[in-house]
Structure 1
Amino acid sequence: MARLSQHVSNLNESILKLLEKKNIFTVLDFLEEDPDKMCNLSGLSFKDVIDIRRKLISKCAVKPDTGLDVYSNMLLKAAKISTGIECLDEILEGGILTGNICEVCGLSGEGKTQICFTVICNIILNLKQIVYFVDTKHDFSATYIQSMIKAQHYNDMEIQSAMEKIKVTKLNDIYQLINFLHELETVLVDNPCRIIIIDSLPVLFAPFINANNNDGLGLINHIATTMKYISTKFQVVFLVVNIAMMSFDMSDDVEIQTRSGNNSSEISFMGDLKPGLGKVWHHVPSYRLLIKKDSSLPSSQRVIVLVKSTDLPSGKSCVVEITDKGVISVLI
């Protein structure tokens, strides 16, 4: 708390010393003291004490914003972040809205990481902004991204400049992720960005599967709350990779202590698949994208379905192809 002498100009040195002898050093000390008692301690008139209190409250108190001010500020800072995949951007009506958490969900090997890499290339090449990439699987490939950029006919200098915008952090456990998120708030003040990618979140929760305590429940709730706070405060997007599992494999003893079924609106779009991490995480993402193979399509092609959205119609889908340039749209 600020010292009293820094905020009150009409208190002379002798009065300040009198107050300090009575352990009144800060603005809070002064405001908490009874006005009548303060008159006796300082020798000031009751009118002067009340006047000082009003000035201190006006100068030091936190002023609440109106709902309109908060909404207007959000609109001013918000933006749609293009994924770089044309058909997916059409489904998202321009891209992912900042201030939200977006999840890419699918079975192992379906192309979730390739979507993340395509988003990275779009941001560092076209938007020319920093991307923070959290690597929990320790399989981030700078070489692969370089080859994707090179396949788009960029020269060596442009490739080097783009690669410098990727900030990779390798994490080994959930506690390191928590530390990273708390440090991120300070980092973003001086090094702002529009998107933070976590590939992938379920890897960090493996130790809590079949656990006999509720540590996983508390940790995932803490992470979700922190991510939502950061995304809202800095108007960034968290793009999180989650694993999908066959629903008949998700028995009560195989999931983190946060288990529950899908809501009915998502079941019809996901079929036998179910997003991992359980009940608490299930409602966290504002957007959930399911990427999956389709037996009627070539092996290099995938279907992406918007199975959940807080502001867009769900159920829309598109077909994409995984190429050496990244994930691209397929015209049907």
Structure 2
Amino acid sequence: MVVLREGMCPGLDAGLLRDLRAADVKTVEDLVSSDTEELARKCSVSYKALLAIRRVLLAQHTAFPVSGADLYEELLSSTAILSTGNPSLDKLLDSGLYTGEITELSGGPGSGKSQVCFGVAVHISYQLKQSVVYIDTTGGLTAGRLLEMLQTETSNTEEQMAALQRIQIFRLFDVYSLLDCLYGLRSGGLQQASVGGGSVKAVIVDSVSAVISPLLGGKHNEGMSLMIQVAGVLKTMAKDFNVAALVTNHVTRSGSGEVQPGLGASWSHIPRTRILLERAEPSAAVSPSGLRSATLIKSSRQPCHIKAEFDLRWWSRSEEESSRKRKLDETDS
């Protein structure tokens, strides 16, 4: 059920929304199943105006049949693949983050979820010259940390500042604020967040579970509905605006003691790709402090349960170190 909100379509303003609610019309389903003529009288609005709103909402929320060929053509013309900046992670993701999709990083405390998100944001803003929307629900992101990572990419202060300007940060600490932010971005905020000639190509939510999991289970019956709303707006925004959505999730343990992503079975269908991050076993060749193991646990493109190891400090390497490491990787392959 999609709740009616101000600005969902032209003509659906605060006054009409108030009148519709007074007539017990609160969702898109309520509106399209109502007698339009009678509802227009109740809300003191013209029949033509209400009919136009009804048609727009039907077009937005009704599934129309399309051929497989049409879908494939749309995929070829609209999908872009954004490198994360880390070759090992890109390989696991079949080249990187795909626009139009939701990718999830799950892991326990200290697994490196936020560090990966920082690195992805910096790489897209500096190397790809595109804008990033970063929604921080845990208070873990600081401009200082982003600047440190940018300083290892370039010593040019103007380039650092330009890259920082392309990262738009929202700090939100409850699911209602998150929903308002996502709806606002979908209703035009993404265009406003485009800075420096680059359009918004990634929306990062770190962490989606921090604001949803406290509302699930127990006496909180609305938690599941709010989670599905978050999922819905993220999916439509990713597809409609051709952006890559990257979200982080906590982990729980199954009955058999196996580590698995949180938020339950309903959420598991939302991300197209899911990666589980864990601390890697100490290696004699690499210092263990930054080493992480990434396991692909859901993908429509790669075999599941393949693993990769990578160093979180990759995004903090100097330009010379990165170039040297790339040459070594090319020699090894």
If the length of structure 2 is used for normalisation, what is the TM-score? Answer: 0.70
Q: Deviations over 1:159-203 (max 9, x none)?
A: 111101010001121011111111111122453411100010111
Within 1, Cα distance between the matches of 2:211 and 2:204? 15
User: Per the alignment, in what secondary structure is the counterpart of residue 320 of structure 1?
Assistant: strand
Residue type of the partner of 1:81?
Answer: L
CA contact (8 A) 2:154 2:160 kept: no
Query: Greater shift after overlay, 107-116 or 188-197?
Result: 188-197
Residue type of the partner of 1:301?
Answer: L
Residue type of the partner of 1:193?
Answer: V
* Cα pair distance change 1:204/1:28, threshold 3 Å: closer
* Cα pair distance change 1:314/1:180, threshold 3 Å: same
Within 1, Cα distance between the matches of 2:185 and 2:224? 23
Structure 2 residue 94 is the aligned partner of structure 1 residue 93: yes
- Give 1:317 deviation, angstroms: 1.6
User: Per the alignment, in what secondary structure is the counterpart of residue 138 of structure 2?
Assistant: coil
- Give 1:117 deviation, angstroms: 0.8
CA contact (8 A) 1:114 1:326 kept: no
- What's the counterpart of residue 291 of structure 1? 277
CA contact (8 A) 2:94 2:301 kept: no
Residue 303 (structure 2) aligned to one of 313, 322, 332: 313
- 1:145-294, aligned counterparts within 5 Å? 145-185=146-186, 186-189=188-191, 191=194, 192-247=199-254, 272-294=258-280
- Give 1:135 deviation, angstroms: 0.7
CA RMSD of aligned residues (A): 3.0
Q: Deviations over 1:193-252 (max 9, x none)?
A: 11100010111124414431421111101111111111111111110010112335xxxx
* Cα pair distance change 1:205/1:293, threshold 3 Å: same
CA contact (8 A) 2:106 2:261 kept: yes
Structure 1 unmatched ranges of 5 or more: 3-23, 30-61, 249-266
Structure 2 unmatched ranges of 5 or more: 1-8, 11-45, 52-61
* Percent of aligned pairs sharing the same letter: 30
User: Per the alignment, in what secondary structure is the counterpart of residue 184 of structure 1?
Assistant: helix
CA contact (8 A) 1:105 1:243 kept: yes
User: Per the alignment, in what secondary structure is the counterpart of residue 221 of structure 1?
Assistant: helix
Residue type of the partner of 1:243?
Answer: H
Q: Deviations over 1:10-59 (max 9, x none)?
A: xxxxxxxxxxxxxx985999xxxxxxxxxxxxxxxxxxxxxxxxxxxxxx
Structure 2 residue 104 is the aligned partner of structure 1 residue 103: yes
User: Per the alignment, in what secondary structure is the counterpart of residue 274 of structure 1?
Assistant: strand
- What's the counterpart of residue 40 of structure 1? none
- What's the counterpart of residue 116 of structure 1? 117
- What's the counterpart of residue 291 of structure 2? 301
Within 2, Cα distance between the matches of 1:25 and 1:303? 60
Q: Deviations over 1:299-331 (max 9, x none)?
A: 321111111112222222211112274488897
Q: Deviations over 1:90-112 (max 9, x none)?
A: 12221121110000011111111
User: Per the alignment, in what secondary structure is the counterpart of residue 323 of structure 1?
Assistant: helix
User: Per the alignment, in what secondary structure is the counterpart of residue 216 of structure 1?
Assistant: helix
* Cα pair distance change 1:27/1:109, threshold 3 Å: closer
- Give 1:139 deviation, angstroms: 2.0
